Amino acid sequence: MLAFLLDPHIWLAFVTLTALELVLGIDNIIFISILVDKLPPQQREKARRLGLFLALFMRVGLLMGLSWIVGLTAPLFSAAGIDFTGRMLILASGGAFLVWKSGGEIRGLFAGDDHQPNAAGKARLGLAAAILQITVIDIVFSLDSIITAVGMVDEVPVMVAAVVVSVGLMMAFAGGIGRFVAAYPTIKMLALAFLVLVGTALMAEGVGYTIPKGYIYTAMGFALAVELLNLRLRHQVADAVLSDESARVGAGRLPRRGSASRM
Protein backbone atom coordinates (compact mmCIF):
# COMPACT_ATOMS: atom_id res chain seq x y z
CA MET A 1 0.00 0.00 0.00
CA LEU A 2 2.81 2.41 0.91
CA ALA A 3 4.64 1.59 -2.31
CA PHE A 4 1.42 2.29 -4.20
CA LEU A 5 1.06 5.73 -2.57
CA LEU A 6 4.72 6.61 -3.14
CA ASP A 7 4.70 5.64 -6.81
CA PRO A 8 5.18 8.87 -8.83
CA HIS A 9 3.35 7.35 -11.79
CA ILE A 10 0.26 6.91 -9.61
CA TRP A 11 0.33 10.56 -8.57
CA LEU A 12 0.91 11.70 -12.15
CA ALA A 13 -2.06 9.62 -13.29
CA PHE A 14 -4.17 11.02 -10.43
CA VAL A 15 -3.36 14.67 -11.22
CA THR A 16 -3.83 14.18 -14.97
CA LEU A 17 -7.13 12.37 -14.55
CA THR A 18 -8.41 14.92 -12.02
CA ALA A 19 -7.64 17.77 -14.43
CA LEU A 20 -9.32 15.89 -17.28
CA GLU A 21 -12.40 15.18 -15.15
CA LEU A 22 -12.64 18.88 -14.32
CA VAL A 23 -12.51 19.82 -18.00
CA LEU A 24 -15.11 17.18 -18.87
CA GLY A 25 -17.25 18.40 -15.97
CA ILE A 26 -17.49 21.99 -17.20
CA ASP A 27 -20.44 21.24 -19.47
CA ASN A 28 -22.14 19.41 -16.58
CA ILE A 29 -21.73 22.45 -14.31
CA ILE A 30 -23.04 24.81 -17.01
CA PHE A 31 -26.13 22.68 -17.62
CA ILE A 32 -26.90 22.43 -13.89
CA SER A 33 -26.30 26.17 -13.39
CA ILE A 34 -28.67 27.17 -16.18
CA LEU A 35 -31.32 24.72 -15.03
CA VAL A 36 -31.30 25.67 -11.34
CA ASP A 37 -31.52 29.36 -12.28
CA LYS A 38 -35.14 28.67 -13.22
CA LEU A 39 -35.92 27.52 -9.66
CA PRO A 40 -36.99 29.77 -6.78
CA PRO A 41 -33.90 31.33 -5.12
CA GLN A 42 -34.26 29.30 -1.93
CA GLN A 43 -34.09 26.01 -3.87
CA ARG A 44 -31.17 26.74 -6.20
CA GLU A 45 -28.27 25.82 -3.93
CA LYS A 46 -30.03 22.63 -2.82
CA ALA A 47 -30.66 21.57 -6.42
CA ARG A 48 -27.10 22.46 -7.45
CA ARG A 49 -25.51 20.39 -4.69
CA LEU A 50 -27.93 17.51 -5.18
CA GLY A 51 -27.17 17.47 -8.90
CA LEU A 52 -23.42 17.31 -8.28
CA PHE A 53 -23.86 14.64 -5.60
CA LEU A 54 -25.81 12.60 -8.16
CA ALA A 55 -22.96 13.09 -10.63
CA LEU A 56 -20.48 11.83 -8.02
CA PHE A 57 -22.67 8.86 -7.11
CA MET A 58 -23.13 7.86 -10.74
CA ARG A 59 -19.44 8.17 -11.57
CA VAL A 60 -18.34 6.07 -8.59
CA GLY A 61 -21.12 3.57 -9.27
CA LEU A 62 -20.02 3.21 -12.88
CA LEU A 63 -16.44 2.68 -11.74
CA MET A 64 -17.61 -0.11 -9.47
CA GLY A 65 -19.30 -1.74 -12.45
CA LEU A 66 -16.44 -1.68 -14.92
CA SER A 67 -17.51 -4.99 -16.44
CA TRP A 68 -20.84 -3.39 -17.36
CA ILE A 69 -19.01 -0.40 -18.83
CA VAL A 70 -16.89 -2.71 -20.97
CA GLY A 71 -20.06 -4.47 -22.10
CA LEU A 72 -21.49 -1.18 -23.33
CA THR A 73 -18.76 -1.02 -25.97
CA ALA A 74 -19.80 -4.36 -27.50
CA PRO A 75 -21.87 -4.12 -30.72
CA LEU A 76 -25.62 -4.61 -30.27
CA PHE A 77 -26.75 -4.36 -33.89
CA SER A 78 -25.62 -3.02 -37.25
CA ALA A 79 -27.35 -0.47 -39.46
CA ALA A 80 -26.11 1.53 -42.46
CA GLY A 81 -22.71 -0.08 -42.06
CA ILE A 82 -22.37 1.09 -38.43
CA ASP A 83 -22.04 -1.27 -35.47
CA PHE A 84 -24.11 0.37 -32.75
CA THR A 85 -23.18 -0.18 -29.09
CA GLY A 86 -25.00 0.59 -25.87
CA ARG A 87 -22.64 3.50 -25.25
CA MET A 88 -23.39 4.99 -28.66
CA LEU A 89 -27.14 4.80 -28.08
CA ILE A 90 -26.85 6.47 -24.66
CA LEU A 91 -24.62 9.23 -26.01
CA ALA A 92 -26.91 9.86 -28.99
CA SER A 93 -30.01 10.01 -26.78
CA GLY A 94 -28.31 12.25 -24.24
CA GLY A 95 -26.95 14.53 -26.96
CA ALA A 96 -30.41 14.88 -28.50
CA PHE A 97 -31.84 15.76 -25.07
CA LEU A 98 -29.09 18.33 -24.51
CA VAL A 99 -29.67 19.98 -27.89
CA TRP A 100 -33.44 20.02 -27.32
CA LYS A 101 -33.16 21.45 -23.80
CA SER A 102 -30.51 24.05 -24.66
CA GLY A 103 -32.36 25.08 -27.81
CA GLY A 104 -35.50 25.58 -25.74
CA GLU A 105 -33.58 27.76 -23.30
CA ILE A 106 -32.24 29.88 -26.17
CA ARG A 107 -35.78 30.34 -27.52
CA GLY A 108 -36.84 31.33 -24.01
CA LEU A 109 -34.17 34.04 -23.88
CA PHE A 110 -35.42 35.53 -27.14
CA ALA A 111 -39.01 35.33 -25.89
CA GLY A 112 -38.04 37.20 -22.72
CA ASP A 113 -38.90 34.35 -20.32
CA ASP A 114 -35.66 34.93 -18.45
CA HIS A 115 -36.83 38.37 -17.32
CA GLN A 116 -40.26 37.31 -16.02
CA PRO A 117 -40.26 36.90 -12.23
CA ASN A 118 -43.70 35.33 -12.03
CA ALA A 119 -44.75 31.71 -12.40
CA ALA A 120 -44.26 31.86 -16.16
CA GLY A 121 -40.62 32.82 -15.79
CA LYS A 122 -37.69 31.45 -13.86
CA ALA A 123 -39.74 29.80 -11.12
CA ARG A 124 -41.85 27.77 -13.55
CA LEU A 125 -39.63 24.71 -13.07
CA GLY A 126 -40.28 22.52 -10.04
CA LEU A 127 -37.49 21.02 -7.94
CA ALA A 128 -38.47 17.45 -8.84
CA ALA A 129 -38.51 18.25 -12.57
CA ALA A 130 -35.13 19.96 -12.30
CA ILE A 131 -33.58 17.00 -10.47
CA LEU A 132 -35.02 14.60 -13.07
CA GLN A 133 -33.48 16.54 -15.95
CA ILE A 134 -30.17 16.87 -14.09
CA THR A 135 -30.19 13.10 -13.50
CA VAL A 136 -30.72 12.39 -17.21
CA ILE A 137 -27.80 14.54 -18.29
CA ASP A 138 -25.64 13.33 -15.37
CA ILE A 139 -25.97 9.79 -16.74
CA VAL A 140 -24.67 10.88 -20.15
CA PHE A 141 -21.79 13.00 -18.86
CA SER A 142 -20.85 10.42 -16.22
CA LEU A 143 -20.70 7.64 -18.80
CA ASP A 144 -18.52 9.71 -21.11
CA SER A 145 -16.28 10.75 -18.21
CA ILE A 146 -15.79 7.23 -16.85
CA ILE A 147 -15.08 5.68 -20.24
CA THR A 148 -12.38 8.34 -20.69
CA ALA A 149 -10.98 7.51 -17.24
CA VAL A 150 -10.91 3.78 -17.97
CA GLY A 151 -8.94 4.47 -21.14
CA MET A 152 -6.33 6.47 -19.22
CA VAL A 153 -5.77 4.67 -15.92
CA ASP A 154 -5.77 1.01 -14.90
CA GLU A 155 -6.06 1.42 -11.11
CA VAL A 156 -9.66 1.75 -9.89
CA PRO A 157 -8.66 3.51 -6.59
CA VAL A 158 -6.92 6.22 -8.61
CA MET A 159 -10.04 6.68 -10.75
CA VAL A 160 -12.30 6.92 -7.68
CA ALA A 161 -9.98 9.41 -5.95
CA ALA A 162 -9.74 11.58 -9.08
CA VAL A 163 -13.53 11.56 -9.52
CA VAL A 164 -14.18 12.45 -5.87
CA VAL A 165 -11.64 15.31 -5.89
CA SER A 166 -12.85 16.69 -9.24
CA VAL A 167 -16.52 16.66 -8.17
CA GLY A 168 -15.54 18.28 -4.87
CA LEU A 169 -13.83 21.10 -6.78
CA MET A 170 -16.85 21.37 -9.05
CA MET A 171 -19.05 21.82 -5.97
CA ALA A 172 -16.75 24.55 -4.68
CA PHE A 173 -16.89 26.57 -7.90
CA ALA A 174 -20.38 25.69 -9.21
CA GLY A 175 -22.13 28.46 -7.27
CA GLY A 176 -19.81 31.17 -8.56
CA ILE A 177 -20.04 29.88 -12.12
CA GLY A 178 -23.82 29.75 -11.88
CA ARG A 179 -24.10 33.33 -10.59
CA PHE A 180 -21.70 34.56 -13.27
CA VAL A 181 -23.65 32.87 -16.06
CA ALA A 182 -26.98 34.14 -14.71
CA ALA A 183 -25.72 37.73 -14.29
CA TYR A 184 -24.73 38.24 -17.94
CA PRO A 185 -27.25 37.35 -20.69
CA THR A 186 -24.52 37.19 -23.35
CA ILE A 187 -22.51 34.72 -21.25
CA LYS A 188 -25.66 32.66 -20.73
CA MET A 189 -26.28 32.61 -24.48
CA LEU A 190 -22.68 31.55 -25.05
CA ALA A 191 -23.03 28.79 -22.44
CA LEU A 192 -26.21 27.51 -24.09
CA ALA A 193 -24.50 27.56 -27.49
CA PHE A 194 -21.67 25.56 -25.91
CA LEU A 195 -24.19 22.97 -24.67
CA VAL A 196 -25.77 22.75 -28.13
CA LEU A 197 -22.30 22.14 -29.57
CA VAL A 198 -21.56 19.46 -26.95
CA GLY A 199 -24.93 17.82 -27.59
CA THR A 200 -24.28 17.79 -31.34
CA ALA A 201 -20.87 16.19 -30.74
CA LEU A 202 -22.49 13.52 -28.55
CA MET A 203 -25.09 12.79 -31.23
CA ALA A 204 -22.35 12.52 -33.86
CA GLU A 205 -20.42 10.14 -31.62
CA GLY A 206 -23.60 8.14 -31.17
CA VAL A 207 -23.67 7.39 -34.90
CA GLY A 208 -19.97 6.64 -35.22
CA TYR A 209 -18.46 10.06 -36.00
CA THR A 210 -16.09 11.29 -33.31
CA ILE A 211 -15.43 15.03 -33.02
CA PRO A 212 -12.27 15.58 -30.93
CA LYS A 213 -13.25 17.33 -27.70
CA GLY A 214 -10.10 19.43 -27.89
CA TYR A 215 -11.51 21.24 -30.91
CA ILE A 216 -14.77 21.96 -29.10
CA TYR A 217 -13.18 23.22 -25.90
CA THR A 218 -10.61 25.31 -27.79
CA ALA A 219 -13.31 27.00 -29.88
CA MET A 220 -15.50 27.70 -26.88
CA GLY A 221 -12.54 28.88 -24.81
CA PHE A 222 -11.65 31.37 -27.54
CA ALA A 223 -15.28 32.53 -27.78
CA LEU A 224 -15.41 32.97 -23.99
CA ALA A 225 -12.19 34.99 -24.00
CA VAL A 226 -13.58 37.31 -26.69
CA GLU A 227 -16.85 37.73 -24.77
CA LEU A 228 -14.97 38.54 -21.55
CA LEU A 229 -13.06 41.23 -23.43
CA ASN A 230 -16.38 42.58 -24.74
CA LEU A 231 -17.78 42.67 -21.21
CA ARG A 232 -14.76 44.57 -19.97
CA LEU A 233 -15.01 47.02 -22.86
CA ARG A 234 -18.72 47.60 -22.20
CA HIS A 235 -18.01 48.23 -18.52
CA GLN A 236 -15.30 50.75 -19.38
CA VAL A 237 -17.60 52.56 -21.83
CA ALA A 238 -20.42 52.60 -19.26
CA ASP A 239 -18.08 53.96 -16.58
CA ALA A 240 -16.81 56.65 -18.95
CA VAL A 241 -20.37 57.71 -19.83
CA LEU A 242 -21.33 57.79 -16.15
CA SER A 243 -18.27 59.87 -15.25
CA ASP A 244 -19.02 62.28 -18.09
CA GLU A 245 -22.64 62.68 -16.97
CA SER A 246 -21.55 63.23 -13.37
CA ALA A 247 -19.09 65.88 -14.48
CA ARG A 248 -21.80 67.66 -16.48
CA VAL A 249 -24.22 67.58 -13.55
CA GLY A 250 -21.54 68.93 -11.22
CA ALA A 251 -20.65 71.70 -13.65
CA GLY A 252 -24.30 72.67 -13.96
CA ARG A 253 -24.63 73.11 -10.22
CA LEU A 254 -21.62 75.44 -9.93
CA PRO A 255 -22.56 79.16 -9.87
CA ARG A 256 -21.29 81.33 -12.65
CA ARG A 257 -18.43 83.69 -11.79
CA GLY A 258 -20.43 86.88 -12.29
CA SER A 259 -23.49 85.77 -10.36
CA ALA A 260 -21.68 85.47 -7.01
CA SER A 261 -20.21 88.99 -7.25
CA ARG A 262 -23.58 90.52 -8.10
CA MET A 263 -25.07 89.03 -4.95
For 15, half-sphere exposure in the C-beta direction (CA atoms, 13 angstrom radius) is 5
51 CB-contact burial (10 Å; exposed 0-12 / middle 13-18 / buried 19+): buried
Range scoring the smallest mean pLDDT among 90-104, 141-155, 186-200: 141-155
pLDDT value, residue 69: 65
Answer whether 150's CB lies under 8 Å from 66's CB: yes
pLDDT value, residue 117: 45
pLDDT value, residue 101: 80
Residues listed for the chain: 263
Contacts of 10 (CB under 8 A, 6+ apart): 4, 155, 158
For 71, half-sphere exposure in the C-beta direction (CA atoms, 13 angstrom radius) is 5
Helix residue ranges, H only, the chain: 2-6, 8-36, 41-64, 66-72, 86-111, 127-152, 156-183, 185-206, 213-253, 257-262
pLDDT value, residue 245: 67
pLDDT value, residue 254: 47
Q: Which of the listed ranges 128-132, 237-241, 255-259 does the model predict with the highest average pLDDT?
A: 128-132
pLDDT bin (cut points 50, 70, 90) of residue 260 is: very low
pLDDT value, residue 15: 79
pLDDT value, residue 122: 46
Helix residue ranges, H only, 112-126: none
pLDDT value, residue 83: 82
What digits encode the pLDDT tens for the residues 6-48? 667 777 777 777 777 777 677 778 888 888 887 888 888 888 8
Query: Facing residues of 85 across strands?
Result: 75
What digits encode the pLDDT tens for the residues 59-89? 788 777 766 666 677 788 888 777 888 878 8
Mean pLDDT throughout 133-158? Answer: 73
pLDDT bin (cut points 50, 70, 90) of residue 124 is: low
CA 133 to chain centre: 14
What digits encode the pLDDT tens for the residues 186-244? 877 887 888 888 888 888 888 888 887 778 778 888 888 888 898 888 878 776 777 76
pLDDT value, residue 119: 42
d(CA 7, CA 97): 42
d(CA 196, CA 55): 20
pLDDT value, residue 113: 56
Q: Where are the domains of the chain?
A: 10-211
Distances (CA, A) of 1 to 12, 16, 30, 154, 159: 17, 21, 38, 16, 16
Distances (CA, A) of 98 to 2, 95, 103, 199, 200: 44, 5, 8, 5, 8
pLDDT value, residue 164: 84
Inform me whether the pLDDT recorded for 169 exceeds 80. Answer: yes
Distances (CA, A) of 242 to 50, 146, 228, 235: 42, 51, 21, 10
